[in-house]
Amino acid sequence: MKVSTSPVTGPGGAAGLAPRTGELIARLRDEENRPALVGYLPVGFPDVERSVEALLTLTDNGVDVIELGIPYSDPVMDGLVIQEAAQVALDAGVRVAHVFEAVRRIREHAPHVAVLVMTYWNPVLRHGVREFATDLAAAGGSGLITPDLIPDEAGDWIAASDELGLDRVFLVAPSSTPDRLALTARASRGFVYAASLMGVTGVRTSVGDRAESLVTDTRAAGAEHVCVGIGVSTGAQAAEVGRWADGVIVGSALVRPLLGDEPWEERLRNLAGVTRDLASGVRSARAAHGAH
């Protein structure tokens, strides 16, 4: 599968200018009439080196935006599949510094791909908010997704991300009020993460019924780009969501092929196959339904 590599501008990094996520999503919409595929994997699973191999497998098979997870011992959003992988990474001794190393290597390998770090807020606080932002920008990262940080309490991060030109992705859910949608849309840069249903990440047989209306409501509240996560696991689901969302976020379905006892190369091949199926889904999402 050939992936467009047109440059976009943004903060400097180890591999040159890091893509601004919003510009990347807009270009995919305008030039390719499709949503972005956002793929999640945790750094350090099953170890740092092999996690980078898995991340590069995503970039080589059609992912547009990497959501690079920092393993965390007390997740509030991660389902069992991601929890299992994160615990393996923690037991192996992964550290925040490994995240910046992974960002740098992804950007060197695939400079057209945006890398957003997905992290609970405590690791950022412990590292130092401005220090974290500085190290992320220096590595070539595009910004952060912060599932447990609401805009009302994000003053330090908003200031640091403004200073360093980083994206900041906040979340909305089916329970979000109109005022909350508007506040989150104003505070976000890159896109707003719409959780398709209440609950934790994981493979579902269908995406939540409220997902499409949540995207519509979030756009009406002022968001320029809205990407949908939780529950997408197949190319068919990616195509369904991609008809009305600006991006399709997939996590557990990408982590699952890496679990188990098969030889690592076989697990990477399985990951590549799942990724290509999802990439095919987003690329066909609007072909039969006209422009978004």
Alpha helices (H) in the chain, listed in sequence order: 21-32, 48-60, 80-91, 96-109, 121-127, 129-139, 155-164, 178-187, 211-220, 235-242, 252-255, 264-284
Of the residues 64, 67, 167, 217, only one is catalytic, namely 67
Of the residues 78, 217, 240, 246, only one is catalytic, namely 78
Q: Is 10 helix (H, G, I), strand (E, B) or coil?
A: coil
Q: Which residue has the tokens 């195509």?
A: 239
**Residue 116 phi, psi dihedral angles, 5° rounding:** -105, 130
Question: Could you tell me how far CA 91 lies from the centroid of its own chain?
Answer: 24
| Closest to 124 (Cα-Cα) out of 150, 156, 151 | 156
Q: What is the largest CA-CA distance in the chain?
A: 50
Assigned token pair, 221: 């509240």
Q: Is 209 a catalytic residue?
A: no
- CB contact set of 7 (below 8 Å; sequence gap of 6+): 17, 19, 111, 112
State how far the Cα of 113 lies from the Cα of 286, in Å rounded to an integer: 22
State how far the Cα of 21 lies from the Cα of 64, in Å rounded to an integer: 9
Assigned token pair, 192: 């707003």
State how far the Cα of 121 lies from the Cα of 171, in Å rounded to an integer: 13
Q: Is 6 helix (H, G, I), strand (E, B) or coil?
A: coil
Q: Is 67 a catalytic residue?
A: yes
Residues with a catalytic annotation lie at 67, 78
